[in-house]
Amino acid sequence: MPVTTLTDDTFESAVTSAEAAVVVLTDAHCSTCGHYTTVVERVAEQMADEAEFYFVSHDSAPEVYASSGVRSVPTTVIFRQGMLLHLDSGAHTEENLAQLVHVFAEADVEEMRQAVQEQGTTVIGQED
């Protein structure tokens, strides 16, 4: 399955409807991002049964970009059922990205939800 580019209008729906969502924030002016998008596309092909893969660029989703607090790109964000579980800046190797996706796609959702709520972190799409 190809990697989909999200917009401000499609971001929340995509990350809350996917069991696991890998979102990569990129920018057209980032030289590292060009190489990393190729890595992400290859991992997405290999792991389509474990997660949905998305790109978010400053041009396609300026509001998401601004509200994310991300200061450098590329940034990889992994969600499970709308919960932000992982966020880091910099490019990964194919092997490392695949391992990250696998770990978070297989993790116990209820344990994660409890830990996220104990930390006071917001779960996207969940009302208090």
**Domain annotation for the chain: domains and CATH numbers:** 4-119 (3.40.30.10)
- Cα of first residue to Cα of last residue in the chain, in angstroms, is 34
Beta bridge partners of 89: 75
pLDDT value of position 1 = 63
Q: What per-residue confidence (pLDDT) applies to 128?
A: 46
Q: Give percent helix, percent strand, percent coil of the chain, each to the nearest 5.
A: 40, 25, 35
How far from 92 is each of 62, 82, 88, CA to CA, in Å? 24, 23, 10
Identify the pLDDT of residue 124: 53
Q: Output the pTM of the full model.
A: 0.87
Residues of the chain falling short of pLDDT 50: 127-128
- pLDDT at position 76 is 96
- The tokens for 70 are 């991300």
